[in-house]
Structure 1
Amino acid sequence: MENQVGNRAVVLGGSMGGLLAARVLAGAFREVLVVDRDQLIGVEGPRRGVPHGRHAHGLVARGHQILEAQFPGLTDELVGAGVRPGDFNGDIRWYVNGQRLRPSRSGLISVPATRPVLEYHIRNRVQAIPNVTFLERHDILGLSASPDGARVTGARVRAPGSDEEQVLAADLVVDTTGRGSRTPAWLEELGYARPEEEKIKIGLAYTTRHYRLDHDPFAPDLAFIPAPTPDFPRGAFFYRLPGDDNRVELSLTGMLGDHPPTDPEGFTEFARSLPVPEIYETIKDAPAIDEPVKHQYPASVRRHYERLSRFPAGLLVLGDAVCSFNPLYAQGMTVTALESLVLERHLETGGIPDPRAYFRDISREVDSPWDFSAGADLGYAGVEGKRTAKIRFANAYVARLQRAAVDDAELTNAFIRVAGLIDQPPALMRPRNILRVLRAGKAHPAAGTPSVPTADPDHDLGKAA
């Protein structure tokens, strides 16, 4: 232990956020205790606490980089488990409005592991850290605090089948319990204000089914991903599962209540409606392994802890408990990983992190991906929210860039780098990218499509670039 700042840290929640938090806390506390209501150790498949684990998950490029740095050799382990990595651009067939974006080598690695496989291997790595312990199958009841409520001193839990409450004393409690986090209510109980919440109601649902094929429809690629857009709001993630037994996963997506059905016939017809016929042609007569399963995601939610003027010492929040993103953009795990690096930096100062300084710093990590996804969602007419001049400009420009990327691999790479959280969104508006978009528009004008708006006081291209 290089820099011990306390005796015990308690992490509430054992999913990706909890595992990443435990990894960095282990270098600063004598003991790290991870608490979860589910059984965790040895679990290789989906579990109750991660209902979306049965559906397609994406770890974008920046997230992969962080995980490999925190757990060296993780990619090789996943390859050993049957995962086939590839290039995020060159080995994935990206479609927008039914047209494939021109591929090339991006140099960014895609690791198409399912959520259970990824979580299993990371959990094994965290479990191997000597001062990390998992307390499984315990309900999390709340916090314990000093008499004046100024400091959180631990967490209250209960074992299965028991009526007795147990208090886990801690120098630091980190809430990673996800979008259902009860920290806002716990703060209120201690006499603090709840954080402001920002919601984007998208009415999204995933419906997923698995098949076993007699051929590989992707070869030499990894996946087909028709991305939903306001013009074609139905989308899909279709990819090969880890292993060599020709199993594939198809997650169909629909926004604003247009949900993929769970009856087999309706599921297949929804696949037929996609603007990429290869998916329907592949699965229409294929033997299914299971019945379709749906997961609904009503709204993206951001809790603005950084705006609170008072917050108790000894408590932090991380991951989806702070910001839960529209999963279509596959940002959640990566932003959680970025937040864990913020936690690590604050621990390196040699003391228990100051909550207000910590929340200010993670807010900076959340701002850009939240603006990217929330702004894109406001491109759908049925999504409620204020459409500023900046949002209208960005959506019109990105739509033009995506059309141009059908014939321009450099623009595809630029978009993949921003979607992968490698580059910030203003990178799309670097002068060379703007010129390529404008040239493509002159060469192939699209009837009825918006032109690139001129810069205005709300969005100066010079500053953005």
Structure 2
Amino acid sequence: MTGNEWRRAVVLGGSIAGLLASRALSETYDEVVVVDRDELTGLPEPRKGVPQGRHVHGILARGQQILEEYFPGITGQLEESGAVTGDVAGNVRWIMDGVAMSKGDSGLLAVSVSRPTLEAHVRRRVRALPNVEFLDHREVVGLRFAPGARQVTGVRTVERGGSGDASVLPADLVVDALGRGSRVPRWLRHHGWPTVPEERTQVGLTYTTRHYRVGPEPSPGDLSVDIVATPDHPRGAICARIDGGRQIVTAYGILGDVPPTDPEGFLDFLKSLSSPEVYEAMVDREPLDAPVSYRFPASLRRRYERMTRLPAGLLAVGDAVCSFNPTYGQGMTVAALGSLVLRAHTAGGSLPDPLAYFRDLAHEAVDEAWRQALSNDLGFPGVEGDRTPEILADQEYIGRILEAAQRNGDVAAAYARVIGLVDPPEALRTPEVRAALGAG
């Protein structure tokens, strides 16, 4: 590494956030070590460390762009593995309160693929990097600090399931990609650092998933049908074509409404949605497995950017910073955006300033996605939170956008670009869009 004294970065967690962080760090560090408690094979199989991996996943349009930038040709490789692609506004059927949005041409690519297959392809590309090493079957049990605890200088790990003593893995930089369950904030408190502020939005979400053999219905030519939960119809489902000749159906309810895991109850839940399309398509379709559920109690944001001091040598990305209501599909894309911030802050070769990094992470990767998710969540009367005038105004305006999108494909495409985190929210207030709302 020319003119750079920093040699090794250690990434805690080998999921999508950790893999993309490793890709970013590989441009600067001599050695990048990815530590994970699972066995990180190249096979597209669900992992114990990703219990939500069996359910529907979406990478938003901006996330797909970043993947292609990091790993040229990966979209084509995913298609060769069976992923289904199309325009995010022209080949996705969005249904709200029983009414479908108009089709439009967003110019953005949607990639419908199972989480294990996507992760396997990204992991394979990261493994091919000559300065990246994977250390799996290892559990991180603590941080190592320099005297005075002002700088993190490594991590303590134990073999998963083993009874031996912890070993120290030295590092010039440690990146926490351990997800919402990360114990890093606790370890910081133990070493005398202030508590990281947190915000939670209790959504009481449960989603239940079943896979079926692929068929032409519902909505031939579309890669997915998304029946969106709304305050008037607070149940939803996504039916998507994915790799393996399968369709994945994920049904979800909020605030304790649980889609059943028995086959008959699962179909009854689909039948109760605001549109019958998914139920009618699946009622006689051949299932490939039994329904399985996953509970997501609350969206969680750790406000590292509000800290006044943090140790050098420690950063965080992905769900370790912000874990979103998964029905909005934002998590992997925000992790990808965060990896770009990480790349920028490590590009100079010197040890990054953690306070500056977390401020930029909030501004460039998290704030807009969190604003969208919070506004949507607080649209449901049972979700507790501060409905500020700004949120109420946003909800009213987005309601008008969605109503116009039912009859105007250009508005639908503009909306898809904003929620895909490609265009800023101001793109929904152009004279053309406002004219379509009757507010020009």
Tell me which interval the TM-score lies in, with the shorter structure as reference length: over 0.9
1:411 partnered with 2:411: yes
Distance 1:79 1:203 in 2: 35
CA contact (8 A) 1:306 1:363 kept: yes
Q: Structure 2 counterpart of 1:76, which letter? A: G
Alignment of 1:314-463 (within 5 A): 314-364=313-363, 365-438=365-438
Alignment of 1:171-320 (within 5 A): 171-213=172-214, 215=216, 217-243=218-244, 245=245, 247-320=246-319
**What secondary structure, in the 3-state scheme, does the structure 2 residue paired with 1:372 have?**
helix
Equivalent residue, structure 2, for 1:162:
163
CA contact (8 A) 2:105 2:410 kept: no
Distance 2:189 2:405 in 1: 49
For structure 1, the residue ranges without an aligned partner over 5 or more in a row are 441-465
CA contact (8 A) 1:2 1:28 kept: no
1:111 partnered with 2:137: no
CA contact (8 A) 1:10 1:34 kept: yes
1:9 partnered with 2:9: yes
Distance 2:429 2:5 in 1: 43
Distance 1:133 1:256 in 2: 42
Q: Cα RMSD (Å) of the superposition?
A: 1.4
**What secondary structure, in the 3-state scheme, does the structure 1 residue paired with 2:362 have?**
helix
**1:4/1:20 Cα in 2 relative to 1: closer, same or farther (>3 Å)?**
farther
Distance 1:104 1:357 in 2: 39
Distance 1:421 1:204 in 2: 23
Distance 1:408 1:389 in 2: 28
CA contact (8 A) 1:145 1:151 kept: yes
Q: Structure 2 counterpart of 1:105, which letter? A: D
Query: 4+ runs of 1 displaced by more than 3 Å?
Result: 1-5, 213-218
User: CA shift at 1:5, angstroms?
Assistant: 5.0
* Cα displacement string for residues 11-52 of structure 1 (whole angstroms, at most 9, x for unaligned residues): 000001110011011111111110000001223111111111
CA contact (8 A) 2:27 2:347 kept: no
**1:437/1:214 Cα in 2 relative to 1: closer, same or farther (>3 Å)?**
closer
* Cα displacement string for residues 294-321 of structure 1 (whole angstroms, at most 9, x for unaligned residues): 0011000101101111101111111100
CA contact (8 A) 1:3 1:348 kept: no
**What secondary structure, in the 3-state scheme, does the structure 1 residue paired with 2:7 have?**
strand
User: CA shift at 1:215, angstroms?
Assistant: 4.3
CA contact (8 A) 2:214 2:241 kept: no
Q: Which moved more, 1:296-305 or 1:392-401?
A: 392-401
**What secondary structure, in the 3-state scheme, does the structure 1 residue paired with 2:185 have?**
helix
User: CA shift at 1:217, angstroms?
Assistant: 3.8
Distance 1:4 1:40 in 2: 30
* Cα displacement string for residues 342-366 of structure 1 (whole angstroms, at most 9, x for unaligned residues): 1111112221111011001001021
Alignment of 1:50-129 (within 5 A): 50-129=50-129
User: CA shift at 1:226, angstroms?
Assistant: 1.1
Equivalent residue, structure 2, for 1:26:
26
**What secondary structure, in the 3-state scheme, does the structure 1 residue paired with 2:143 have?**
strand
CA contact (8 A) 1:12 1:36 kept: yes
Q: Which moved more, 1:343-352 or 1:108-117?
A: 343-352
User: CA shift at 1:322, angstroms?
Assistant: 0.4
* Cα displacement string for residues 423-458 of structure 1 (whole angstroms, at most 9, x for unaligned residues): 122322223222211269xxxxxxxxxxxxxxxxxx
User: CA shift at 1:238, angstroms?
Assistant: 0.2
User: CA shift at 1:130, angstroms?
Assistant: 0.8
Q: Structure 1 counterpart of 2:193, which letter? A: Y
Distance 2:323 2:97 in 1: 26
Q: Structure 1 counterpart of 2:9, which letter? A: A
Q: Structure 1 counterpart of 2:331, which letter? A: G
CA contact (8 A) 2:218 2:225 kept: no
Distance 1:131 1:227 in 2: 43
Higher relative contact order (CA 8 A, sep 6+): 2
Q: Which moved more, 1:217-226 or 1:260-269?
A: 217-226
TM-score (norm 2): 0.97
Distance 2:49 2:329 in 1: 19
**What secondary structure, in the 3-state scheme, does the structure 1 residue paired with 2:164 have?**
coil
Q: Structure 1 counterpart of 2:356, which letter? A: A
TM-score (norm 1): 0.92
* Cα displacement string for residues 342-401 of structure 1 (whole angstroms, at most 9, x for unaligned residues): 111111222111101100100102111101110111111000011011111111111121
Distance 1:95 1:101 in 2: 6
Q: Structure 1 counterpart of 2:297, which letter? A: P
For structure 2, the residue ranges without an aligned partner over 5 or more in a row are none
User: CA shift at 1:214, angstroms?
Assistant: 5.3
Q: Structure 2 counterpart of 1:70, which letter? A: Y
Distance 2:132 2:409 in 1: 45
Distance 1:307 1:218 in 2: 46
